[in-house]
C-alpha cells in the first residue's frame, strides 16, 4: 500500500456523542457453516434443536426476571419466540429435508421473518428478535457462547456492528458509556526510510527557526521535532543506566529530529545534512549527530523518552503540561524562567516537549531535596505563575493530559463564564445523573 487510504466500517447507528473508556468487543453472531454435515437422524436432531431453543428461552427469561420494567417485555417476547411451536415445526421440516441443525434453524427462521415482514407493522418489527433467537440457538448448536454484551465490570464502550433489542434494552449509562458501530481509520504507508538526528541549538528561538526551515524543504516528512533542555538530559544521564551524551560537550538546548518517507526516490539523509550545514553556518545549530543505524536512532529516542522516568527517580517536582502557539514558545520559556527565578531563586526548570505541536512539559523543583519539600508545598502559587503566562500567550493550561481532577479548580480562572456554563449544560443534558466519568473536569 502507498499513500494514505481511508477505510470506513459501517454499522447501525445508535446515538452521537463522545466517551472515553475501556473498549469491549461484543461477541459477534455466528453463522451456520456452509459445510455443515447433513442430518441423518431427523428425530434426534429435532430433539437437540428443541433442547437448545429451550435453553435460549430459559436464558432470556432469567434475564427478564432481573431486568428493568422497560426491558422485561422485550426479553419475555424473545423467550416466547424461542418456544413458538410453529417455529419448531418449521425447523423439523428443514431437518427432514436433510439440512444440518444450524442450517435448519437458519432456514426456518428466515421463512418466519419473510412472513412477518409481509404482515408489516408490529409483526415486521419482531424480525430482529427472531434473528436474535436464531443467533443464540446457532451459537449453542455450534458449541459457542451466545452473542451479545458480556458482563461489564466497569463502565465501558461497546464495539458492535449491531445489537439485538434484548441487548440494548438492558444497557444502562452506569455500565455502557457508548456504542461504536462505525469507525474510519486513516492508514499511512509504513515509512521506507527514516533519518534521526540529535542537534544542539542556540536556544528555543533557533529551534523554532530550524523547524520552519525543515518543514520548508521536507514538509510532512518532518514527523518528530522534540525540544529538550540540558537539565532534562542531565537527569537522564544521572539516573538511567547506559545513557550517554550524544555530543562531546554540553549545550543548553537540543532538538531530536526525525524525518520519514514512504518513498526512496528522495534521499532524506542528504536533505537533512544539506539543511544542517546551512543551519550551522547561520548559527542556529552548534553541533549534532545523525543516527547511522536503527540502534543509534533508538538510543537517541531513549534519551527523550526516559526524561519522565529520570525525573521520577530524582524526586517530586511540580509538573505542568501546557501548550502555546509554536511561535510563542521561545517567549514563554524566556519569560517563565525570569518570573520563576524572581519568585523562587535557584529553581530547577526541566523543560521538554513536542515543539512541532506547541506542547511543553514544564516541570519545576529544587535541586536540593532538603529544600524541595517546602517548594512543593507552594505548588498552587508556582502553578499560577506558569498558567497566567500561558493564558496571556493564548495557550492552554492542559495540553495532552486533560483537565481531570487536578486542574478542575483552575477552569473558572482561565475559562470565560459563558464557556463554563455551556459545558455544564452539555454535561447535564448528556449525563443528568453524573454517572459518566464522575468528578472529572466539572
CATH number at 83 reads 1.10.274.10
Query: What pLDDT is attached to residue 2?
Result: 43
For the chain, give the mean pLDDT.
Answer: 90
What does each of the 442 residues of the chain score in pLDDT, given as a tens digit?
A: 344 555 554 544 444 556 778 888 888 889 999 999 999 999 999 999 999 999 999 999 999 998 888 889 999 999 999 999 999 999 999 999 999 999 999 999 999 999 989 998 888 888 999 999 999 999 999 999 899 888 888 888 888 888 888 888 888 877 888 888 888 888 888 899 999 999 999 999 999 999 999 999 999 999 999 999 999 999 999 999 999 999 999 999 999 999 999 888 889 999 999 999 999 999 999 999 999 999 999 999 999 999 999 999 999 999 999 999 999 999 999 999 999 999 999 999 999 999 999 999 999 999 888 889 999 999 999 999 999 999 999 999 988 887 878 888 888 899 889 988 998 898 888 888 777 777 778 7
31 and 12 share a domain?
A: no
Domain holding 59, by residue range, is 27-147
Residue 327 within a domain? no
E strand or H helix at 10 = none
13 and 46 share a domain?
A: no
Residue 380 within a domain? no
210 and 298 share a domain?
A: yes
pLDDT in tens, 163-203: 888 888 888 877 888 888 888 888 888 899 999 999 999 99
Other Cβ atoms within 10 Å of 113 Cβ, number: 17
13 and 159 share a domain?
A: yes
As given in the structure block, the three cell numbers for residue 382 are: 508556582
16 and 121 share a domain?
A: no
pLDDT in tens, 62-92: 999 988 888 899 999 999 999 999 999 999 9
Residue 72 within a domain? yes
31 and 123 share a domain?
A: yes
φ, ψ of residue 53 in degrees (nearest 5): -60, -35
pLDDT in tens, 264-306: 888 999 999 999 999 999 999 999 999 999 999 999 999 999 9
- Asked which of 277, 309, 341 is the last residue of a domain, the reply is 309
Residue 207 within a domain? yes
- Written as one string, the DSSP assignment of 51-107 is HHHHHHHHHHHHHHHHS-TTTHHHHHHHHHHHT-HHHHHHHHHHHHTT--HHHHHHH
Q: Per the structure, how many domains does the chain have? A: 3
**What residue has cell string 424480525?**
127
Query: What pLDDT is attached to residue 11?
Result: 46
Helix boundaries (H) for 282-328:
294-305, 307-314
- Asked which of 309, 338, 359 is the last residue of a domain, the reply is 309
Q: How far is the CA of 421 from the CAs of 16, 412, 418, 439, in angstroms?
A: 21, 10, 5, 17
Residue 122 within a domain? yes
How are beta strands 156-159 and 176-180 bridged, if at all? parallel
178 and 252 share a domain?
A: no
Whole-angstrom distance, CA of residue 197 vs CA of residue 218: 15
141 and 35 share a domain?
A: yes
Sheet holding 193-201, edge to edge: 285-290, 193-201, 253-261, 222-229, 348-354, 359-365, 321-323
Residue 319 within a domain? no
21 and 168 share a domain?
A: yes
Amino acid at each position: 500500500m502507498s499513500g494514505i487510504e481511508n477505510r470506513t466500517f459501517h454499522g447501525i447507528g445508535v446515538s452521537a456523542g463522545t466517551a472515553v473508556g475501556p473498549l469491549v468487543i461484543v461477541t459477534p453472531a455466528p453463522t451456520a457453516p456452509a459445510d455443515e454435515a447433513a442430518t441423518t437422524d431427523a428425530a434426534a436432531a429435532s430433539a437437540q434443536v428443541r433442547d437448545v431453543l429451550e435453553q435460549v428461552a430459559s436464558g432470556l427469561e432469567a434475564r427478564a426476571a432481573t431486568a428493568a420494567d422497560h426491558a422485561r417485555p422485550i426479553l419475555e417476547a424473545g423467550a416466547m419466540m424461542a418456544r413458538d411451536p410453529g417455529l419448531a415445526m418449521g425447523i423439523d421440516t428443514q431437518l427432514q429435508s436433510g439440512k444440518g441443525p444450524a442450517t435448519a434453524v437458519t432456514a426456518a427462521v428466515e421463512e418466519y421473518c419473510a412472513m412477518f415482514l409481509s404482515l408489516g407493522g408490529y409483526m415486521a418489527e419482531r424480525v430482529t428478535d427472531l434473528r436474535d433467537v436464531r443467533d443464540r440457538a446457532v451459537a449453542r448448536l455450534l458449541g459457542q457462547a451466545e452473542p451479545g454484551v458480556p458482563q461489564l465490570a466497569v463502565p465501558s464502550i461497546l464495539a458492535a456492528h449491531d445489537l439485538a433489542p434484548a441487548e440494548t434494552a438492558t444497557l444502562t449509562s452506569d455500565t455502557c458509556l457508548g456504542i461504536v458501530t462505525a469507525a474510519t481509520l486513516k492508514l499511512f504507508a509504513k515509512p521506507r526510510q527514516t533519518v534521526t538526528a540529535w542537534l544542539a541549538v542556540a536556544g528555543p528561538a533557533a529551534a523554532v527557526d530550524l523547524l520552519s526551515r525543515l518543514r520548508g524543504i521536507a514538509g510532512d516528512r518532518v514527523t518528530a521535532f522534540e525540544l529538550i533542555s540540558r537539565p532534562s538530559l542531565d537527569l537522564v544521564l544521572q539516573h538511567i543506566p547506559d545513557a550517554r551524551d550524544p555530543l562531546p560537550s554540553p549545550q543548553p538546548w537540543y532538538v531530536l529530529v526525525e524525518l520519514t518517507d514512504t518513498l526512496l526516490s528522495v534521499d532524506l539523509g542528504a536533505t537533512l545534512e544539506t539543511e544542517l550545514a546551512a543551519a550551522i553556518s547561520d548559527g542556529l545549530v552548534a553541533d549534532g549527530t545523525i543516527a547511522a543505524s536503527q540502534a543509534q536512532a533508538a538510543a537517541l529516542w531513549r534519551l527523550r523518552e526516559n526524561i519522565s522516568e529520570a525525573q521520577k527517580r530524582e524526586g517530586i517536582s511540580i509538573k505542568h503540561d501546557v501548550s502555546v502557539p509554536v511561535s510563542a514558545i521561545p517567549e514563554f520559556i524566556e519569560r517563565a524562567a525570569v518570573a520563576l527565578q524572581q519568585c523562587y531563586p535557584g529553581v530547577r526548570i526541566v523543560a521538554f516537549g513536542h515543539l512541532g505541536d506547541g506542547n511543553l512539559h514544564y516541570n519545576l523543583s529544587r535541586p536540593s531535596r532538603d529544600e524541595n519539600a517546602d517548594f512543593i508545598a507552594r505548588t498552587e502559587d508556582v502553578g499560577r505563575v506558569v498558567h497566567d503566562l500561558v493564558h496571556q500567550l493564548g495557550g492552554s493550561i492542559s495540553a495532552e493530559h486533560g483537565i481531570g481532577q487536578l486542574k478542575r479548580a483552575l477552569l473558572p480562572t482561565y475559562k470565560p463564564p459563558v464557556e463554563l456554563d455551556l459545558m455544564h449544560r452539555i454535561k447535564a443534558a448528556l449525563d443528568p445523573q453524573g454517572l459518566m466519568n464522575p468528578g472529572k473536569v466539572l
